[in-house]
Amino acid sequence: MAADIKPRIRVPQTAKKDEIIEIKTLISHPMESGQRKDSQGKIIPRKIINKMTVAFNGKPVFEAKLEPSISANPYLSFFLKCSASGNLDFTWTDDDGSVYKATQAITVA
């Protein structure tokens, strides 16, 4: 199951100093809401990405707590003001405890 969960991020690789850039993220994940039933009428247990955290050079800059109301393959976008070059680290946390990660370097000219 975990094999088909794949994070995708779209971050500009370079930015001008203090430019505000848009960060787009998507992780392929069913976001099983815990509301649906299978063909036998049994409730399919909830399994969602419940949290995404983003850190820039180790410092947390953005965090999202997600509920079952979020669509499958959760897409999130937000903004970041680039004051210096560095690494942007993304972490998604699954209900089952799995953690998915992605990293992107940004060069500030």
Partner 1 sequence: MTASSQSLNRRGLSRRQAVAALGLGSVVVTLVPLSAEATPESAKKMLGDLVKAAPKAGKVQIKTQEIAENGNTVPVTISVESPMTDKDYVKEIHVVSDKNPQPGVASFMLTPANGKAEVQFRMRMAETQNVIAVAVMSDGSAWTAAREVKVTIGGCGG
Nearer to partner 1, 1 or 60 (CB): 60
Residues at the site binding partner 1, with contacts judged by CB under 8 A: 18, 20, 33, 35-37, 56, 59-72, 74-81, 83
Nearer Cβ to partner 1 (4/67): 67
Q: How far is the CB of 3 from partner 1 (least distance, A)?
A: 23
Q: Which helix (H) or strand (E) holds 88?
A: strand 86-94
- The closest of 8, 37, 34, 35 to 23, measured between CA atoms, is 8
Tell the smallest beta-carbon distance from residue 1 to partner 1 (Å). Answer: 19
Quote the least distance from Cβ 22 to partner 1, whole Å: 9
CB of 96 to partner 1, least distance (A): 19
Rg (CA), the chain: 16
DSSP code at position 100: E
Nearer Cβ to partner 1 (3/23): 23
Please name the helix (run of DSSP H) or strand (run of DSSP E) that holds residue 23, with its range, or none: strand 20-27
DSSP conformation class of 11:
-
